[in-house]
Amino acid sequence: MWLAKMAWKNIWRNRNRTIITMAAIFFAVILSVIASSLQAGIFDNLVKNVVSFYTGYMQVHKQGYWDEQILDNSFESSAETEKKILQNKNVTSVTERLESFALASSEDITKGCLVVGINPEKENEVTLLRNKLTQGSYLQDNDNAVLLSQGLAKRLQLKVNDTIVLMGQGYHGATAAGKYRIKGLVKFGSPDLNDKALFMPLATAQDFYSAYGMVTSYVLSLSNTKDLQPTESSVRLAIGAGYEVMTWEQMIPDIKQHIETDSNNMKYVQGILYMLICFGIFGTLLMMMVERKFEMGMLVAIGMKKSTLVILMLFESLLTVIAGCLSGIIISIPLVHYLNKHPIKIGGETAKAYERFGFEAIFPTSTEASNFIHQGLIVLVIGLVLSLYPMYKIIRINPVTAMKR
């Protein structure tokens, strides 16, 4: 205990030296926390933008639907099944969809399209479809009308209030045909979706395909988007056999692979950052050791055991590094939260490219507590490992040589 008290007094005996050492650790923590939070925030924002296009964070289908996405692999919508899904505290809302393909015609132009029957209000909760509306008005449950993606409308040379003719194959081989008014146009960042998507109320789609009461998927909205695997397991257990539960990672593996590749590349950048942190902290420790060489030699010369001196230095290092890390974490918390609420905005041609594909032209930070703790611990370990050098020098110290001016 007396060694800890002495260590505390020692580190404040030379305030300038202590402040410089703590400042090196302080800025190292802030820099590493902001870099890590920025990386996590960019990836989270990418996922949010991608899943809000269409897929959502999680979907429930009939077993085998994802491998063979045909109308005959639909299932009967059930309030009881939805209730079981919503029993999971992480699931905030569930919306039904009926998806299939059809031929869309306008006079002498015919194109293939993706027909999606939706519950308009619930769909908006999951994918913010209303926000993608560029012309016209949004769907109501009882509308006998459709929303057309901008690209498809351009290909068919149609506009709001025009009539579109749809033809296709319905449930169990039934003939599907109908004429619908175009109530609005929507724009998607995904070029593929923007060129083929058509939305209509769920009841209208079920009537068109003669698939009364049937849906092809439940799309789930989650409160904690990081808690995917436990939520998937819980939902699968709740609804029983005959269904498949899929996360966005399984439905859009390309995005997951892109994030993993970028994360691996960022490790090299983080490695360089940690090297710079090492040099900064080691420089201050080296300066401290040179300044205290005479003091250490004298203490050994008057009889203090080297082991006691090493423990004293360990306490000093612990107190200095912990103080620097804690102060860095405390200051970085409001900085990261500020950058989360006021993200870095991208300008110029890069911003236009982002917006063209439906992405927000911003770099936000992640406010997850794990980023602060993880980076603080890394810098703490770096500081403590580097502190072994002064201890090594104490073990090897020669009192006579050390006390020579």
DSSP 173: G
What pLDDT, in 10s, does the model give residues 93-148?
899 999 999 999 988 899 999 999 999 999 998 888 898 899 999 999 889 999 99
What pLDDT does 263 receive?
A: 80
Residue 136 falls in which region: left (phi positive, over 0), alpha (psi -120 to 50) or beta: left
Q: Is 199 exposed, middle or buried (0-12, 13-18, 19+ CB in 10 A)?
A: buried
- Contact by Cβ (8 Å): 24, 329: no
What pLDDT does 114 receive?
A: 94
Contacts 24+ apart (CB under 8 A), 285-292: 285/21, 285/386, 285/387, 285/389, 285/390, 286/389, 287/17, 287/20, 288/17, 288/21, 288/390, 289/389, 289/390, 289/393, 291/14, 291/17
What pLDDT does 354 receive?
A: 67
Any idea how long the chain is? 405
* SS3 category, 192: helix
What pLDDT does 176 receive?
A: 92
pTM: 0.74
**253-291 and 388-395 are packed helices; what angle lies between their axes, rounded to 10 degrees?**
40
CA distances from 19 to 12, 208, 318 (A): 9, 74, 14
* SS3 category, 181: strand
Place of tokens 């029957």: 117
**Would you list the domain boundaries of the chain?**
2-51+255-402, 56-251
* SS3 category, 201: strand
Q: 10-residue block means of pLDDT along the chain (405 residues)? A: 73 78 84 87 81 84 92 92 92 93 91 94 89 92 92 93 94 92 89 88 95 94 88 92 91 83 81 81 75 75 78 79 88 92 79 65 84 86 82 75 68
The full 3-state SS of 90-133, as one line of letters, equals CEEEEEEEEEEEEEEEECCEEEEEEEEEECHHHHHHHHCHHHHE
What pLDDT does 206 receive?
A: 95
d(CA 323, CA 309): 21
